[in-house]
A = this chain, B = another copy of it.
Amino acid sequence: MNRKLPVAVLGATGVVGQRLVRRLACHPWFELTTLAASERSAGKRYADACAWRLPGEPYAGFADRPVVACDAARIDEPLVISALDATIAREVEPALARRGALVCSNASAFRMSADVPLLVPEVNADHVDLVLAQRASGSRGAIVCNPNCTTTVLVLALKPLADAFGIDAVSMTSLQALSGAGWPGVASLDATANVVPFIGGEEEKVEEEATKILGAFTSAPRPAIQMAPFVVSAQCTRVPVVDGHTEAIGVKLRGAPSQDAVVAALRAFRSPFLDLELPSMPATLVRVHDANDRPQPRLDVERDDGMSVHVGRVRRCSLLGIKFIALGHNAERGAAGGALLNAELLVRKGIVS
């Protein structure tokens, strides 16, 4: 690649947007050329528009860059990464796709649309061909989505088991980090030394997105996803953790494999899409912990730039057969890094160039 591909980030001032900016500041393929945000921010310097909340160098070197509005007519990059809220995404993203842009969206607006691929590249990179369905309906560009952060961690932990055994049922209770709610997000009076046992819309998202991602792509009669045939039941809670969603998962696997067989499958797992060699893919995707008190968000979530998932405490479940703990970085693997990985996939597949 001789020169870097220009990329626009929508929602650049939010907590996911900040992580996108930081990742793009040193990306081997991409050059961040447009920082877009709400009308309120438009025209300001990035440093003035943005309550930067990441450790390290503030504004990742973009302090003086101007912020523009999320106006489809004024954003002409071929590749756009969107960290917009769903309600705004619903308007802006299709307008950009019509204009010809490939939009990698972190928003929930179009995740379950029949012709939108819901991608975690190591899990279902083949679903990307669903963009053909969008183009068949006349769009020059296309929208691809990454799933909800909680879903992302779940499907990455389930993928090795789906491949090795097949899944019949899934139960999941999440202990989700504060950064998943953005900034200002959860009020500190609610989050301090407390649990909030509700996150609006989260359980529904997890339950439906997971079966789409782990479903099968079929090209004929037309490109489509056949949902995976298992049930997912989710309970989502918020806990006083900064980054990292912990998930207590129970799973019913075909053939009722032993605990040892499950651990072996997790350790042996290599993504079938590893040969894509996307720059943001971690070398080790699923880290299996031996210590019985791991993974822990504060100790484990930043490994591999937050792009791996962690599994621990794999053991027998009297109800579903196997239970374990999973952990992943909601704001990186489950948001900024996930959206960026999708952008890399589009380039590798030649869908954008």
Contacts and interface: CB of A to CB of B under 8 A. Distances in A.
A271 interface: no
A250 B173 CA distance: 10
A319 B190 contact: no
B195 A193 contact: no
A242 interface: yes
The SS class assigned to the A binding surface is mixed
Contacts of A256: none
Copy number in this complex?
Answer: 4
A317 interface: yes
Given A54-B299, A233-B317, A239-B239, A175 B187 contact: no
Given A198-B293, A248-B197, A233 B318 contact: yes
Interface string A205-242: 00100000000000000000000000111010101111
Given A171-B250, A237-B248, A192 B193 contact: yes
A56 interface: yes
A299 B183 CA distance: 14
Given A56-B302, A299-B53, A300-B55, A191 B188 contact: yes
A296 interface: yes
Contact of A298 (B55, B231, B293, B300): B55
Interface string A304-319: 0000000011000111
A189 B296 contact: no
Interface residues of A, number: 62
A193 B189 CA distance: 11
Contacts of A65: none
A15 interface: yes
Interface string A174-188: 010011010111111
A171 B319 contact: yes
A278 to B, nearest CB: 23
Contacts of A248: 173, 197, 235, 237
Interface in A255-281: none
Nearest to A175: B195
A294 to B, nearest CB: 7
Residue of A189, A298, A323 ringed by the most chain B CB atoms within 10 A: A189
Nearest to A312: B197
Nearest to A56: B303
Given A250-B233, A313-B198, A303 B55 contact: yes
Contacts of A184: 184, 187-190
A196 B198 CA distance: 20
Contacts of A237: 175, 246, 248, 325
A158 to B, nearest CB: 15
A72 B300 CA distance: 36
Interface of A: 15, 53-57, 169-171, 173, 175, 178-179, 181, 183-198, 207, 231-233, 235, 237, 239-242, 246, 248, 250, 292-300, 302-303, 312-313, 317-320, 323, 325
